[in-house]
């Protein structure tokens, strides 16, 4: 009786030989995807290492379509493999790999919430109802937003597991050579938590002037009276940062990444013949921190398409001109030549500026409430919302969209700028012109 033909990708009889230098070489025959017999080999210090090397060579010869997949059993193993491979591979189909700080964020969610609760659970045991219970526990013990982050990371992990062949994309429960496997992403069947409604934030000129008055004049005196000696908060930094954020609508870590070459001044002739100096700011970077690189300037904002020139209003142009005038290049400590630097000449950390804002809110919560500003909502992101509200109200949501760098007006309206309540006024004027005389 004839011997059955080997399956495509299946190794034939493995033979071993020892080279004069002591290296073990393993050889075998294998059929590739076209049915042609190939003869790969592998080497190693031992027969086991040589066999593993041979199998890797066979996988390359046969093609990735038949390459063996790594067998993973627990969620902890899946998470470890996913973080190493999913966003750091050499897949030519991926034009833009996930940024390092994004992967660091995924790792933080896994380390803080997923592994302590479900790390030892076999991946096939994570059903939709169990995953839903896990997310409910996270929402109760932490926050709704944290639960949604956990859901997102788990879903990405299981999508990758399906793509790797550990799960099937159709059916219910499937028996494989590795045992029974879940056949679809169970996380997608869980309920996504409802996040709190967007809180719109608006400021007028009087409120801004009073906030700056508190920062520049009241806070220094109060702090000096309470702490006669010791290091003082950088009051000027916070005031300047607020003005630039209001003038450019940049995200929290973007103003601190403005470089000397990112500011351009132009002389503009006014209708009365006088000249004024206007400032243009290039929004083209942000400061980020990762575990491997520490603090550095990323050469793009949140997304590459959001790079843009912004014409700064006079109050922001004044701050920018002062920063440019006082700037001292230092290629060693400040290689990117950013304008906001520490006392030692290094780029500032965005977290330090955010900490200043938190200190100010704690110190002046009663005063802020007295002028109609909820201290809890006074953040740099809320200042960006205030810019969106002011610009959309005066110039339209399209201008606000371009200023904020959004790709779609719905993002601006959904998260930053309220749709005006009396939009029918403009419609009535248009209808009167089009249908004039119909009531005669």
What is the per-residue pLDDT across 175-194, written as a single tens digit (0 to 9) for each? Answer: 555 555 545 788 888 888 77
Residues in the chain: 440
> How many helices (H) does the chain have, and how many strands (E)?
16, 12
Closest Cα partner for 385 from 357, 355, 415?
415
Whether residue 101 contacts residue 288, with contact meaning beta carbons closer than 8 Å, is answered with: yes
How far from the centroid of its chain's Cα atoms is residue 220's Cα?
Answer: 36
Residue 174 has pLDDT above 80, yes or no: no
Q: List CB contacts of 118: < 8 A, sequence separation 6 or more.
A: 75, 126, 134
Torsional class of 429: left (φ above 0), alpha (ψ -120 to 50), beta (otherwise):
alpha
pLDDT at 391: 62
Under DSSP, is residue 149 helix (H, G, I), strand (E, B) or coil?
helix
How many other CB atoms sit within 10 Å of the CB of residue 322?
A: 13
Could you tell me which residue, 64 or 265, shows the higher pLDDT?
265
Task: Tell me the fold of 75-189.
Answer: DNA polymerase; domain 1 (1.10.150)
Q: Where are the domains of the chain?
A: 15-66, 75-189, 205-424
Q: Which of 264-268, 284-288, 303-307 has the lowest mean pLDDT?
A: 303-307
**Fold equal for 75-189 and 205-424:** no
Quick check: 68 pLDDT over 70? no
Instruction: Round to whole Å and give the CA distance between 342 and 29.
Output: 65
Per-residue pLDDT tens digits for 332-356: 999 999 999 988 889 999 999 999 9
Reply yes or no on domain 205-424 having CATH 1.10.443.10. yes
List, as one string, the DSSP characters of 34-55.
TS-EE--EEEESSHHHHHHHHH
């Amino acid at each position: 009786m004839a011997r059955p033909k080997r399956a495509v990708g299946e190794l034939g009889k493995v033979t071993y030989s020892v080279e004069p230098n002591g290296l073990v070489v393993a050889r075998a025959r294998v059929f590739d995807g076209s049915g042609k017999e190939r003869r790969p080999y592998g080497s190693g210090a031992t027969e086991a290492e040589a066999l593993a090397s041979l199998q890797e060579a066979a996988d390359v010869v046969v093609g990735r379509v038949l390459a063996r997949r790594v067998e993973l059993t627990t969620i902890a193993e899946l998470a470890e493999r996913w973080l190493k491979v999913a966003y750091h591979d050499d897949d030519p189909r991926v034009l833009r790999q996930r940024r390092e700080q994004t992967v660091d964020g995924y790792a933080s969610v896994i380390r803080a919430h997923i592994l302590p609760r479900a790390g030892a659970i076999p991946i096939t045991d994570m059903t939709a109802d169990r995953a839903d219970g896990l997310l409910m526990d996270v929402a109760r013990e932490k926050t709704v937003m944290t639960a949604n982050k956990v859901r997102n990371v788990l879903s990405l992990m299981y999508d990758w597991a399906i793509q790797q062949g550990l799960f099937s994309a159709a059916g219910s429960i499937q028996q494989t050579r590795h045992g029974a496997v879940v056949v679809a992403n169970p996380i997608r069947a869980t309920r996504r938590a409802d996040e709190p409604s967007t809180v719109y934030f608006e400021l007028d000129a009087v409120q801004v002037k009073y906030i700056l008055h508190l920062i520049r004049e009241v806070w220094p005196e109060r702090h000096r009276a309470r702490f006669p000696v010791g290091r003082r908060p950088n009051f000027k930094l916070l005031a300047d940062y607020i003005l630039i954020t209001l003038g450019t609508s940049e995200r929290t870590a973007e103003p601190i990444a403005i470089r000397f070459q990112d500011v351009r001044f132009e002389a503009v002739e006014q209708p009365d013949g006088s000249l004024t100096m206007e400032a243009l700011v290039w929004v083209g970077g942000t400061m980020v921190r990762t575990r491997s690189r520490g603090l550095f300037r990323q050469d793009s904002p949140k997304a590459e398409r959001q790079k843009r020139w912004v014409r700064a209003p006079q109050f922001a142009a004044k701050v920018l001109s002062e920063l440019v005038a006082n700037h001292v290049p230092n290629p060693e400590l400040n290689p990117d030549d950013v304008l906001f630097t520490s006392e030692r000449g290094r780029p500032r950390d965005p977290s330090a500026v955010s900490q200043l804002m938190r200190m100010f809110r704690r110190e002046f919560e009663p005063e802020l409430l007295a002028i109609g500003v909820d201290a809890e909502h006074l953040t740099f992101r809320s200042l960006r919302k205030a810019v969106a509200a002011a610009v959309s109200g005066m110039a339209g949501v399209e201008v606000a969209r371009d200023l904020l760098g959004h790709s779609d007006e719905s993002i601006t309206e959904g998260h930053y700028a309220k749709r005006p309540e009396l939009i029918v006024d403009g419609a009535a004027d248009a209808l009167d012109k089009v249908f004039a005389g119909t009531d005669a």
